[in-house]
Every structure is written in structure tokens, then in C-alpha cells.
Amino acid sequence: MSEHVLVTDDAGFPALINGDKPVIVDFWAEWCPPCRAIAPVLDKMAGENPQVITAKINVDQSQASAAKYGARRWTVSSVRPNRCWHNCLRRENRSDGKQHGGKPAYAAEIEYAGKNYAGWQIQPNALTVQQVLQDALKVITGRDIKIKAASRTDAGVHARGQLAVIDVPAYLVPDRLQKGLNALTPPDIGITYAAQVSADFNLRTEVTAKEYIYVVHCGNTPPVLDREYCRWLRKYPSAEKMREIIPLLTGRHDFHAFRAANCGSPNTVKTLESICISEEPYGESVRITLKFVGNGFLKNMVRIMVGSITDYALGKIPKAAFEAALTENGTRDMLGMTAPPEGLTLHHIYTRKPLQDYRINAGNHTEIP
């Protein structure tokens, strides 16, 4: 295991600067609760890379040496006097008497494999993606913080571009938040982007559409390497025939028949902007990809559409079943099966403008070679 050093005064710097190993330095303060809470992250970094020394620098006693040596040797935070790496002012140096600033919002893009989780949203007696992330946030901040997501994926469903808003204290620099969460979560969950946005950033008003992708593997041989990310069918449903259903489903409809029995959404009218169905050879097999873009989706809605479109292409249900299901008297039993969750991925969340354009602070973390 690598060394883990706590430097409490200027005398500790020469030993580091003259060493043979690279050093990762974090500016630290005893009076800052998040600094104390983040210690497990540094411990993990030290344990995973024996060639690196991790050092915590006490900002109250080592500012002179930080300025003198930092640019030569370390990856450091751009801290000002009396600030830790959270950019957190000491209590006595704030005119308002508060240690931390306001309550900004942080937008984060999240990727996860859904196999081990009962969906996104917290549930009693079940492990969910939201629960794992909020537990990690509590380690970092010492507080109970709720994460709000743009889409609540079902059990077993994956996400490549989930968008969430996190209300964390102002002292957390976005890339520190990202690195801290990635260090404290399992390898099947990752924060791929994080930025501070305006406090009035609202998912309900800024999100314009959501994109889901479902993959069907058709062939005699089941998929092996990516079997957890597609549905396997021995029979081949014609993609051309599947496309015959697209005009029936696209547009604004009441999709009450295309939802799970336990779906509690009060609004079942949704606008399905587009459905794209493509196919390509995959060895001796064929991969069919269905892409759905809409302003919102009910519980199991995409999976019911995929299962029903597939059943239609295989001759199991008639086209009239879709027409009837979209009427006021439409019911779930008119349609086909619910496709299994492993083939479905929340691919992208569309917002009124690119996510990077919402950023209000580029952060104050600087990588120095």
C-alpha cells in the first residue's frame, strides 16, 4: 500500500518534494466536516496505487509551502488562504457568519448497469441506484441529500445518459463531486459529467425529451459477451414488418393500455416523437435496435411497445390490437408481452440547450503537471 501523509506545517514539504514518488495533494482543514468525511476516498486512492503518495495539507499552516512548491510537483487545488479543497471559507472570515455559501444545484450525467438494482428510485427492502448514490453523498458531505433524476428506470434497466440534479453545499467543486462519487460507488455506477448550474435549474421545465434504446438479438446462438444488454430471440421478427406499427404509435396518444398494472402516473397522455427500427448482421445472427424518443414514458411503456411490436412481426397479434389499445376502452390484455428489462437502456435526456451551456461555474480545480 502506498504512503498516506498528513502535512500539518511547512516543515513537512521538503520531504515530499525530494521523494521519488509522485504525490497527490489535497488541501484539508480540521474544521471542515466534508474534509474529514472524504478521508475514505483518499485511503482508497492510496490502496489502489502503490506508486503514489496521497497527502493532506493543512491549509491553516502550510499555505506558504503550497504556493512555493505546488506548481512543480503536485496535482493541487486552486485554494486561496483559509480555504480547504472544498473552497470552503473559515467561519470567522465570512461576514454572514456561515461557514458555507448558498445552495447551488449540480447537474450530473449518470451511467449504470441495471442488473443488480431494483430500478432508480429508492424502495423499501431493495437496492436501487438512487440509494447507492445518496449513501455515497452522505459519506462525502455528512448530510442526507436527495438526488432528483429525469427518468425513473425500472428494475434491471440500464442507463447511459441519466440526468440528475443534486443539491449539495457550495464548497464542493464539480470535479471533486464527480471523483468522490465514482470512488465510493460500485463499478456498475458512474458519474460521467458534473457541473454547477443555476439554483433554479428544473428538470421538469428544461427536459424536452427522453430517448430509450432496446436491442433484440435474433439467432440460434444466444449472445455471450453482452447477453445482459439485449433480449435473445431464436426466431427472426422482420424489421420491415415491425416498422408497420410506427405510424400507429407516434404522435400524441393516451397510452393507458401501455403501462404496468402498478403504474401510478395520473397523466397517461404522452407524445411519442419518433420510433426508429434498424437491423444489422451480428455474425450468423441479426441485431434489431428500436429507438424511442418522447416527452415522457409510463412504467414499462417502452418494454410493452417492444414486446407488442415483436409479437406483431411474429404473427402473434394483429395490427388492430394497437388501434384498439389506443382507444378509450383499450386494455393491457389486447397487446403482446412485456419485453424483459435487460435489453432496455435509457440512452439520452434531451434538454432545451446543451447541458454544458447551463454551467455557471467552471470550477476551481486545476491540474498542474
- Whether 26 is catalytic: no
**Ramachandran bin of 251, using left for φ above 0, alpha for ψ from -120 to 50, beta for the remaining angles:** left
C-alpha cell of residue 71? 506548481
CA 143-148-151 angle, to 5 degrees, is 150
Strand partners, 189: 112
**Ramachandran bin of 142, using left for φ above 0, alpha for ψ from -120 to 50, beta for the remaining angles:** left
Strand partners, 108: 164, 194
Instruction: Report the b/e string of 37-54 with b at 16+ CB within 10 A.
Output: bbeebbeebbeeeeebbb
Spatial contact of 169 and 329, defined as CB atoms under 8 Å apart = no
Catalytically annotated residue among 154, 167, 200, 226: 154
C-alpha cell of residue 125? 427492502
Determine the longest span between alpha carbons in the chain, in angstroms.
81
Estimate the crossing angle of helix 39-48 against helix 174-184, to 10 degrees: 70
List the catalytic residues.
Answer: 154
